[in-house]
Amino acid sequence: MFRSSKVGLIAGCLVTSGVMRRNAKARLLRDNIVVAENLSIASLRREKDDVTEVRDGFECGLTLGYADIKEGDVIESYELVQKERA
């Protein structure tokens, strides 16, 4: 966890599977219990670069707009996709 006067709390993360995308929705889990839901990944950085996505196996820093993030928490990201009815 890092604090920034400009963006607030920055969570340092390792993407373990899938892809983390900026503006995707996220939920925060602590000890396998959902602590916060319907969060938005406001910013996503890989090293010093602002990126739109980070793939599995890479580290990144992100902001969620949620202040109570602790070391060991799990962030799951997801996208809502609308499908046309058949």
Q: Phi first, then psi: what are they for 60, rounded to 5°?
A: -155, 170
Q: Does residue 46 register a pLDDT over 80?
A: yes
Beta-sheet strands, E only, within the chain: 2-4, 8-14, 19-21, 25-30, 33-40, 43-46, 49-50, 53-55, 59-63, 74-78
For residue 44, give its domain range. Answer: 2-78
pLDDT-based confidence at 81, cuts 50/70/90? confident
- Tell whether 17 is covered by a domain: yes
- Tell whether 54 is covered by a domain: yes
Residue 30: CB atoms within 10 Å: 14
CATH number for 54: 2.40.30.10
- Tell whether 10 is covered by a domain: yes
Q: Does residue 1 register a pLDDT over 80?
A: no
- Tell whether 50 is covered by a domain: yes
pLDDT at 5: 59
pLDDT at 7: 66
Question: What are the start-end ranges of the H helices in the chain?
Answer: none
User: What pTM does this model have?
Assistant: 0.82
Q: Does residue 6 register a pLDDT over 80?
A: no
Domain count, the chain: 1
- Tell whether 84 is covered by a domain: no
- Tell whether 26 is covered by a domain: yes
Average pLDDT value for residue range 45-62: 94
